[in-house]
Amino acid sequence: MADPFLTVNDLTAYYGDFQALFGITLHVDAGEVVAVIGANGAGKSTLMRSITGLLSNGPDMVCWKGRNIGHLRADQIAQLGIAMVPEGRQLFPSLSVEENLIIGGQAGRKGPWNLEEIFKLFPILEERRKVPSTALSGGQQQMVAIGRALMSNPDILLFDEISLGLAPIIVKSIYEILPSIIGGGTSAIIVEQDIAKALSVSDRIYCLQEGRIALEGPAATVTREAISAAYFGI
């Protein structure tokens, strides 16, 4: 078994008095792609926010390469090689396409990805590099969001609702490109509502239901029935 990159131990999360996560435990190994699926409000985005440090959490709840990172700020966690492609892209509207990408490399981590490589991956972005990010189509914005996360040369990439709000043809092309991004030792967590899509690129899956893990297992062996049971809580 490979070393666990990321481990989440008995994670709880609250918004004020409202408890969103009830003791989530999961792990992602080096080079592994893990899908997190679940209905709206199951706690998927909360899980992402907790891992990236946008939501504070208790001691030893989140560990990265054997080190407790639960007490760190989001910007410190980002420096350690954890990058996220946030739900709804969330590009910086005041920044051009190129600036959005450059700021992704703010942390200054060394690795294969730089502006040139991103433009090779998404040639359209090079043509539109000076354009304000708000002028792009949804699909192009998603490319910038992916490129921005890659610019930090992360060891793990978190994709939050990668296909939400995008046309099927664009979703398809993004999933075609994913293996080339996350190959070569980079791990990934893919948060997705489209179960079939998620299964097609993942090694293992976790299914969240009302803030708890209802099902986990290798992507190849879990059955559709088991997933729907966990997904809908029936």
Q: Which residues of this protein are in contact with other proteins, per CB under 8 A?
A: 52-54, 73-76, 78-79, 83-84, 86, 90, 92-95, 99, 102-104, 106-107, 132, 134-135, 148, 152
Least distance from C-beta 212 to other proteins, angstroms?
25
10 vs 75, beta carbon nearer other proteins: 75
Neighbour count for residue 94 (Cβ, 10 Å): 10
Instruction: Report the C-alpha gap between 122 and 170 in whole angstroms.
Output: 13
- Which residues pair with residue 22 across a beta bridge? 12
Contact 152, 99 (CB under 8 A): no
Least distance from C-beta 192 to other proteins, angstroms?
19
- Which residues pair with residue 188 across a beta bridge? 33, 157
Strand pairing class (62-64; 67-68): antiparallel
2 vs 135, beta carbon nearer other proteins: 135
Least distance from C-beta 95 to other proteins, angstroms?
6
Least distance from C-beta 124 to other proteins, angstroms?
20
80 vs 215, beta carbon nearer other proteins: 80
103 vs 177, beta carbon nearer other proteins: 103
Q: Phi first, then psi: give them for residue 35, nearest 5 degrees.
A: -100, 135
152 vs 187, beta carbon nearer other proteins: 152
Contact 71, 104 (CB under 8 A): no
Least distance from C-beta 168 to other proteins, angstroms?
26
Instruction: Report the C-alpha gap between 178 and 71 in whole angstroms.
Output: 31
